[in-house]
Amino acid sequence: MNSQKDDSTSAWKCYFSRMRILSGIQPSGTLHLGNYFGMMKPAIELQEKGEAYYFIADFHALTTVQNGIALRANVRELAIDFIACGLNPDKAVFFRQSDVPAVTELAWILSTVTPMGLLERCHSFKDKTARGLAATHGLFAYPVLMAADILIYDSDIVPVGRDQKQHLEVTRDIAVKINETYGSVFKLPEPSIREDTAVVPGLDGAKMSKSYGNTIEIFAPENALKKKIMGIKTDSTPVESPKITENSSILGLYKLVASETDYQTMEGEFLRGGTGYGDFKKRLFGAVWDYFAPFRIRREEILKDPVFVDRVLAEGAEKARGVSDGVMRRVREAVGIG
Ligand code: ADP
Ligand code: TRP
């Protein structure tokens, strides 16, 4: 399959219906617009088109969140927020990574065929250590665990943001190594990266990311959200002059949340001049606030039932183990353990 054809078109519907779609997200902080448009929204749309398995990557989060109470709270909050944003537990299997402990066993098996050089080339380890994270073995081996996450469910399609593309390449390389060593054990998964939202811009124009402190949180209270959006970095072009549209965070974000007509109007005003950045930001705030309004309502509903999320994750874990048990039997048989 060609990953350039990722956008969901009707022609793909029948293809996806036979596909297993898998993705994970780390419970490492509050969800932002980059997470939503880069990973969650595509994953939510794909849940209609195949057998979806989505999980909360708490084993991965241990590489950065080293406080048990905080991690547990993050997992719960992420589960609530993901469901509020549209993940439908009746359609998608939704679970916690650590509820399928066999994934760490598979990660070890995969690590025995993974060349060091493959991991040494990974950007994410280099980026994270450059930012001051401790260069632990867990951080270095992170892509191997991610490969195990994907391969243990015989996944076909993996919707992620562009920053995860290299990890998918590593996953495929590892799967090929195992297949070369032990015969045909694994399917080769494909990333699904939506080009229209591959990189959501942050408040400063760089990629929106927790680590850059330039995020807009999906469920931020009204005043906090307004303050953030009004704080978007802009240049000093006078009100009456035309504004640069290229790489504008305001336009980039507005495109995601506004109607096509409203977007065209704003783009036209950028090009014509006569409107100040403050006005554009106010309109962007209004559009973001309205876009997420139904999600806020759903979130309030979920919060009223304190055991709902636990029940969803427990049922999801059982279904996930149903698949992983079968794959692990195949793996153990092939490699000669257990
Ligand atoms: P962060 O960079 O804030 O730490 P994560 O690395 O936890 O975010 O990302 C979780 C998911 O959200 C990944 O699939 C990632 O590709 C996606 N994602 C995060 N930020 C963006 C962004 N700015 N644009 C597109 N996708 C993003
Ligand atoms: N590494 C991903 C991220 O930081 C999270 C993740 C872990 C994942 N395992 C995965 C994503 C398997 C897709 C498939 O966002």
Check residue 15 and give its pLDDT: 54
Check residue 17 and give its pLDDT: 55
Ligand at shortest distance from the CA of 207: 1
Ligand at shortest distance from the CA of 160: 1
The answer, yes or no, to whether any atom of ligand 2 lies below 6 A from the CB of 253, is no
Task: List the beta bridge partners of residue 45.
Answer: none
The answer, yes or no, to whether any atom of ligand 2 lies below 6 A from the CB of 103, is no
Neighbours of 227 (CB within 10 A): 12
List every span in the chain annotated with CATH 1.10.240.10. 220-291
Burial of residue 260, with CB atoms counted within 10 A of its CB: 0-12 exposed, 13-18 middle, 19 or more buried: exposed
Check residue 161 and give its pLDDT: 86
User: If you take atom 3 of ligand 2, which residue's CA is the nearest one?
Assistant: 25
Radius of gyration of the chain (CA): 21
Ligand at shortest distance from the CA of 191: 2
Distance 38 CA to ligand 1 centre (A): 6
Q: Which CATH superfamily is domain 2-199+306-335 in?
A: HUPs (3.40.50.620)
Check residue 197 and give its pLDDT: 82
Distance 17 CA to ligand 2 centre (A): 22
pLDDT tens series, the chain, 338 aa = 344 444 444 445 545 557 999 999 999 999 999 999 999 999 999 999 999 999 999 999 999 999 999 999 999 999 999 999 999 999 999 999 999 999 999 999 999 999 999 999 999 999 999 999 999 999 999 999 999 999 999 999 999 988 999 999 999 999 999 999 999 999 999 999 988 888 999 999 999 999 899 999 999 999 999 999 999 999 999 999 999 999 999 999 999 999 999 999 999 999 999 999 999 999 999 999 999 999 999 999 999 998 999 999 999 999 999 999 999 999 999 999 98
Q: What is the C-alpha to C-alpha distance for residues 319 and 329, in angstroms, rounded to an integer?
A: 16
User: If you take atom 26 of ligand 1, which residue's CA is the nearest one?
Assistant: 38
Strand bridging mode 190-192 / 20-25: unpaired
Which of 62, 128, 156, 167 should be mutated for ligand 2, with most atoms under 8 A from CB? 167
Distance 172 CA to ligand 1 centre (A): 21
The answer, yes or no, to whether any atom of ligand 1 lies below 6 A from the CB of 249, is no
Ligand at shortest distance from the CA of 206: 1
Burial of residue 90, with CB atoms counted within 10 A of its CB: 0-12 exposed, 13-18 middle, 19 or more buried: exposed
| CA dihedral of residues 234, 240, 242, 243 (deg, nearest 10) | 10
208, 232 in Cβ contact below 8 A? no
Q: What is the C-alpha to C-alpha distance for residues 199 and 265, in angstroms, rounded to an integer?
A: 23
| CA dihedral of residues 324, 328, 330, 334 (deg, nearest 10) | 150
Active-site residue set: 128, 207, 210
The answer, yes or no, to whether any atom of ligand 1 lies below 6 A from the CB of 207, is yes
Distance 23 CA to ligand 2 centre (A): 6
- pTM, two decimals, is 0.93
Residues 6 or more apart whose Cβ sits within 8 Å of residue 306: none
Distance 139 CA to ligand 2 centre (A): 13
Check residue 4 and give its pLDDT: 42
List every span in the chain annotated with CATH 3.40.50.620. 2-199+306-335
Distance 12 CA to ligand 2 centre (A): 24
Which of 103, 122, 140, 160 should be mutated for ligand 2, with most atoms under 8 A from CB? 160
Q: 92 φ, ψ to 5°?
A: -105, 145
Q: Which CATH superfamily is domain 220-291 in?
A: Tyrosyl-Transfer RNA Synthetase (1.10.240.10)
Which of 127, 164, 165 should be mutated for ligand 2, with most atoms under 8 A from CB? 164
Residue in the block written with tokens 């002059």: 241
